[in-house]
Structure 1
Amino acid sequence: MLGVRAARLRSAELEELIRRDPRGFRISTGDRPTGRLHLGHYFGTLHNRVRLQNLGVELFVVVADYQVLTDRDVADRLAEHVEELVLDYLAVGVDPARSTIFAHSAVPALNQLLLPFLSLVSVAELSRNPTVKDEIAHSRRSAVSGLMFTYPAHQAADILFCKANLVPVGQDQLPHLELSRVVARRLNNRYGGGRAVLPEPEALLSAAPLLLGTDGAKMSKSRGNAIALAAGADETARLIRGARTDAERHITYAPATRPEVSSLVLLTALCLGRDPRQVADDIGGAGASALKAAATEAVNEHLAPMRARRAMYAEDRGHVRRVLREGGERANAIAETTLREVRAAMGTLY
């Protein structure tokens, strides 16, 4: 597995290659439908997906509905959560005419790849995967579902079904992507006969900014400390007014020593397209109240067009379902081709 430094250097090379020939790349990414997406998601991943789509890269976005069946609270309202997630995608600019949005459950051929993929990895490799360990730690359950252990192999299927050769990730997700590379490598070695049946996808490391939640902890849907993309202007103002700061009046951008204040400064700067140090200098001695007012105005102005698009799409839930249905059909056609190639390599086409 590439170290973080090597992955960053390679990502810089990949960005240049994308600029020269975006059609040479196919990206797979996605989210689990556990609630509305928030500003952390937007600046962390969604903005980058739209950027790559607009450059001309082929984008596949999976709504990982099968991966939330372990969460009873979410699974009981799954259809609602899936539609809300798609509304967020459409609102930020993921275009179903240029990108493929689909749900796990609508692509049988993708899920059938899971079985041979599981045969290529050990229980130990699955159980020590960082995402699996984190999910188990946060599940608060006495027994862990077998489905939870399949997450890394299922993600490999999400990536490899369409032969994606690039996956945008944060550095903490490098070990997760590595299992997808391992699956492709082992399948090629065992069944490929000297040819690559599946590509080994590369990581495109994003310089995703770290935005803290309103309580000073990591922004998270489950912690209730996030500002949802769908939140109204008044709700956004209320949440930012209640955000944690510190006792020092003069505003500076110092993430290491003033994380809460710096996160609000960064959020403001991201929305304005400015340098966070300049934003902090402009506010200076005006204090936290001025910072929160500036953050509220910047966020609401930045999100206004997205919220308007979301409201428009929300009026036509039939359109949302069509996006999923058509995306599922497109994804399944590709997955069936890949599955047939995998079965042919394995000698199971009877």
Structure 2
Amino acid sequence: MLTLESACRRPERHRVLTGDRPTGPLHLGHYFGTLQNRVRLQDAGIELFLVIADYQVLTDRDLADRPAEHAENLVLDYLAAGIDPERATVFTHSSVPALNQLLLPFLSLVSVAELGRNPTVKDEIAHSRQAAVSGLMFTYPVHQAADILFCKPDLVPVGQDQLPHLEVTRTIARRFNDRYRTDLFPEPQALLSPAPLLAGTDGGKMSKSRGNAIPLGATEDETARLIRAATTDADRQIGYDPERRPGVSGLLRLAALCQDRDPHAVAEEIGSGGAARLKATVTEAVNEHLRPLRARRTALAADRDHLRRVLRAGSERANAVADTTLAEVRAVMGSV
């Protein structure tokens, strides 16, 4: 496993694939957890592919809700955060047919029992919004393997919960190479970055589905309202203790990330000011930090055609890569 810092030291050696499902607006958890690091990878000169996995929205729900609109809004957040479409390939899953054709040969390389044992699949099934477990959900790691391997990256940024999925991808790459006596696919490594687990306004993990997130595109007044409603406690002396005081500590960590400070130092500065002063401090820190991003976002949002052009250009590049990979797969399988 590589770290973000070590990858950036030798950018010419690496290609990275990462992305998001278009299920709603990106929030501060995405920004500090992934977006900042993607911009660092791009600026270091590493080749970056960003997939907007619109087909995969159907993994855990019966119907995709406004996928085209959500995809455009993801592009909006990417560009506002600093992603440069001239240096990064941004594309939608559904617009690259050759990518999805890799699914069939890949499915032949894993067993039902192996998929059933995958802990991430088990967790997704447990929290599914579907009336019954679909075949798409059960085979989700194989779909993800196709998303990754079509462009032959050597690095994939993941959190701990995604490591089992990446191991399926590595297994598929290895078995394909062994079965067809080729070295077509690399076994991508996990790219571990110092991505913080950001708490939401209820003290739990910040998540769109939990309704505890602060969207990047929120106005300053909306941000203030969301933070005012955040969970704290009755102790007026503010201190950073994530185990005993998750709500207070989550807000302190958010302010610290925005100000590039230690959360203990932020807590000491607030002292006995209580929840009101804590929330005022966090609101000011968040709004100040996001002000340039939000200004860029507002300007970009005025030209939706530009967002669509970015997606079209990225999808054309992704299609060229996927067509080449699929032709290589057919050749080694003898199916040309």
For Structure 1 versus Structure 2, the TM-score category normalised by the shorter chain is over 0.9
Equivalent residue, structure 2, for 1:209: 196
Deviations 1:307-335 (A, max 9, x none): 11111111111111111111011001011
Equivalent residue, structure 1, for 2:73: 84
Instruction: Find the aligned partners of 2:56 and 2:233 in 1 and give their Cα distance.
Output: 39
Compare 60-69 and 149-158 and name the one that shifted more.
149-158
Compare 283-292 and 55-64 and name the one that shifted more.
283-292
Instruction: Find the aligned partners of 1:128 and 1:95 in 2 and give their Cα distance.
Output: 39
Give the aligned residue type for 2:213: A
Displacement after TM superposition at 1:174 (Å): 1.0
Equivalent residue, structure 2, for 1:6: none
Instruction: Find the aligned partners of 2:59 and 2:151 in 1 and give their Cα distance.
Output: 26
Instruction: Find the aligned partners of 1:141 and 1:53 in 2 and give their Cα distance.
Output: 37
Deviations 1:291-313 (A, max 9, x none): 11110011001111111111111
Equivalent residue, structure 2, for 1:57: 46
Q: How does 1:260-339 map to 2 (within 5 A)?
A: 260-339=247-326
Compare 161-170 and 308-317 and name the one that shifted more.
308-317
Structure 1 unaligned residues grouped into runs of 5+? 1-9
Equivalent residue, structure 2, for 1:185: 174
Displacement after TM superposition at 1:212 (Å): 1.5
Closer/same/farther in 2, CA of residues 74 and 291 from structure 1, 3 Å limit: farther
> Which secondary structure does the structure 1 equivalent of 2:185 belong to?
coil
Question: Number of matched residues?
Answer: 336
Q: How does 1:67-78 map to 2 (within 5 A)?
A: 67-70=56-59, 75-78=64-67
Instruction: Find the aligned partners of 2:33 and 2:315 in 1 and give their Cα distance.
Output: 25
> Which secondary structure does the structure 2 equivalent of 1:203 belong to?
strand
Equivalent residue, structure 2, for 1:4: none
Equivalent residue, structure 2, for 1:238: 225
Deviations 1:202-260 (A, max 9, x none): 00112221221112222111111110001110000000011001121111111122111
1:74/1:81 contact within 8 Å kept: no
Equivalent residue, structure 2, for 1:5: none
> Which secondary structure does the structure 2 equivalent of 1:115 belong to?
helix
RMSD across aligned positions (CA): 1.5
> Which secondary structure does the structure 2 equivalent of 1:167 belong to?
strand
**1:131 corresponds to 2:120:** yes
Displacement after TM superposition at 1:74 (Å): 5.7
**1:172 corresponds to 2:161:** yes
Instruction: Find the aligned partners of 1:100 and 1:240 in 2 and give their Cα distance.
Output: 35
Equivalent residue, structure 2, for 1:154: 143
Equivalent residue, structure 1, for 2:2: 11
> Which secondary structure does the structure 2 equivalent of 1:101 belong to?
strand
Structure 2 unaligned residues grouped into runs of 5+? none
Equivalent residue, structure 1, for 2:19: 30
1:64/1:104 contact within 8 Å kept: yes
| Equivalent residue for 1:229, pick from 178, 197, 216 | 216
Displacement after TM superposition at 1:132 (Å): 2.3
Give the aligned residue type for 1:26: R
Instruction: Find the aligned partners of 2:15 and 2:131 in 1 and give their Cα distance.
Output: 40
Instruction: Find the aligned partners of 1:334 and 1:274 in 2 and give their Cα distance.
Output: 42
**1:122 corresponds to 2:108:** no
> Which secondary structure does the structure 2 equivalent of 1:179 belong to?
helix
2:59/2:140 contact within 8 Å kept: no
Compare 119-128 and 70-79 and name the one that shifted more.
70-79
Equivalent residue, structure 2, for 1:342: 329
> Which secondary structure does the structure 1 equivalent of 2:102 belong to?
helix
2:120/2:165 contact within 8 Å kept: yes
Displacement after TM superposition at 1:71 (Å): 5.8
Give the aligned residue type for 1:11: L
TM normalised by structure 2 equals 0.96
Give the aligned residue type for 1:197: L
- Percent of residue pairs bearing the same amino acid type: 71
> Which secondary structure does the structure 2 equivalent of 1:30 belong to?
strand
2:60/2:130 contact within 8 Å kept: no
2:157/2:190 contact within 8 Å kept: yes
Displacement after TM superposition at 1:84 (Å): 1.3
